Amino acid sequence: MTNNFGPLSGLKVLDIGTTIAGPMTATFLAEFGAEVIKIEHPEKGDDLRSWPPMKNDTSLWWKMTARNKKLITLNLKKEEGQSIFKEMIKDTDVVIENFRPGTLEKWNLGYDVLSKINPGLVLLRISGYGQDGPYSKKPGYGTIAEGISGIPSFTGFPDSPPTLSSFPLADVVTSLFGTSSIMYAIYNKEHKGNGLGEVIDLSLYEAMFRLVDPLVIGYDQLGVVKTRNGNRMEEAAPRNTYQTIDDYWVTISASSDATFKRLSIAIEKPELIYDERFVKNPERVKNVEQLDTIIENWISKRKLDDIMDVFDYHGVVAGPINDIKMIFENEHFKFRENIITVMDNTIGKAKVQNVVPKFSRAPGKVSHLGLEKGANNKDVFCTDLGISEEKYKYLIKNKII
């Protein structure tokens, strides 16, 4: 049974990836109506099932990343499992994998094989370093990709070590690139490519590296090596975080002349607008220490709510740094329905992030959270593929499914 909601209703996707980058790409598609069938190893399952936090011996990471998907088990290392997979390929639009390069070929499931069965198939291949090149055969996780992308070299404070994000940033960023690249390929297939599919070679490090536009051209043209500068930016000022008297933090970005003018008036320092040290953004960057001290002195004497009342009144580009407790209580998050409640058969009622972005005509939705391993085996293998009950039992006994 296919989904009947969202702009991707009718799109069939096989998610054979593991952990985050590949599976999360499939999750984004499933949230907008694609029929996503998640394939796991019959015994091991996806490694993400063991990631904390856990409730009732169930990973809450898993509940999120596997939401909206049909779940089946299939051993792609065995010939019979490969034969079933090839049968499934016949009416599949997209396959998503994030194994080490060469793995599908080792299983006799390379694109040369699959495209003969289905010439319109789009295959997204996510890896640490890409499908070719000197590093291609190396194992690659998001943490390592984040490091080699160069981003941690300028993330953190000058007197501290390079700072990695405390969640799998590279995997999530790559999944967004993966989602968009699939849509590009589908559009090309249907409108320009004569119905032919595509192999998409997407690496974790390249997705991260693509985020930092000025890094390459700045070094090439001017020899600029970006360094750690705390919460400031070398390109704009003021831009920082400031602690309130009640121990909250406020972030401010006021690099344009108009936003700086509003900030100056809000903190009762209108004379800053005409101060030669701060009159334009390049001057503000040069004199950021003095400027930050002035802002800190004003903020450190006031409570967060009072500060935000003043800033909102004057239209200052600023906001609190929320922790998750603050987010749960935030009126804007509530109004926008950024957090919704979903019933789940293992963990009960659960609050989760809503689908992003909002569509006016064909919105996405969360139909269910991640299910138990093999929850849809019988539906997919027996109902969809027409495998007999006898063959189904044989496949289970022989650990094919």
Other residues' Cβ atoms within 10 Å of the Cβ of residue 330: 15
- 274: CB partners within 8 A, 6+ apart: none
CA distance 339 to 333: 7
Looking at the chain, the number of H-run helices and the number of E-run strands are 17, 13
In CATH, the number for domain 12-210+357-397 is 3.40.50.10540
Q: What is the mean pLDDT of each run of 10 residues along the chain (401 residues)?
A: 85 97 98 98 95 95 97 97 98 97 97 98 97 94 94 94 93 98 97 94 97 93 94 93 97 96 98 96 96 98 98 97 97 97 96 96 96 96 96 96 96
Per the CB < 8 A criterion, the answer to whether 121 and 93 are in contact is yes
Q: 273 vs 250, 261, 264, CA distance in Å?
A: 21, 6, 7
CA distance 366 to 41: 25
Per DSSP bridges, beta strands 339-344 and 35-40 are unpaired
Task: Identify residue 279 by its one-letter amino acid code.
Answer: V
Confirm whether 12-210+357-397 and 239-329 share one CATH topology: no
Q: Helix, strand, or coil here: 353?
A: strand
Task: Identify residue 397 by its one-letter amino acid code.
Answer: K
Least Cα distance to 269 among 241, 246, 243, 297 occurs for: 297
Q: Which residue has the tokens 């993400």?
A: 48
Task: Give residue 4's pLDDT.
Answer: 83
Strand segments, DSSP code E, in 44-85 are 54-55, 58-59, 70-73
Strand segments, DSSP code E, in 257-347 are 318-320, 339-344
341, two tokens: 């409640």
| Catalytic hit among 171, 246, 247, 257 | 171
Q: How many residues does the chain have?
A: 401
Q: Helix, strand, or coil here: 125?
A: strand
Torsional sign, CA 87, 88, 93, 99: negative
Cis (ω within 30 of 0) for the bond into 357?
yes
Per the CB < 8 A criterion, the answer to whether 356 and 24 are in contact is no
CA distance 355 to 362: 12
Q: What CATH architecture is 239-329?
A: 2-Layer Sandwich (3.30)
Q: What angle do CA 64, 66, 71 make, to 5 degrees?
A: 155
Element of type H or E holding 106: helix 103-106
b/e per residue 49-65 (b: at least 16 CB within 10 A)? bebeeeeeebbbbbbbb
Q: Active-site residue 132, yes or no?
A: no
Strand segments, DSSP code E, in 118-237 are 122-127, 198-203
Task: Give residue 2's pLDDT.
Answer: 62
Name the residue ranges covered by the structural domains of the chain: 12-210+357-397, 239-329
Q: What is the DSSP string of 128-160?
A: SS-SSSTTTTS---HHHHHHHTTGGGGSS-TTS
Residue 384 DSSP one-character state: I
CA distance 371 to 73: 12
Q: 204 vs 29, 77, 90, 140, CA distance in Å?
A: 19, 25, 29, 8
Strand segments, DSSP code E, in 149-275 are 198-203, 239-243, 249-253
Phi then psi for residue 197, to 5 deg, are -80, -160
384, exposed or middle or buried, with CB in 10 Å at 0-12, 13-18, 19+?
middle
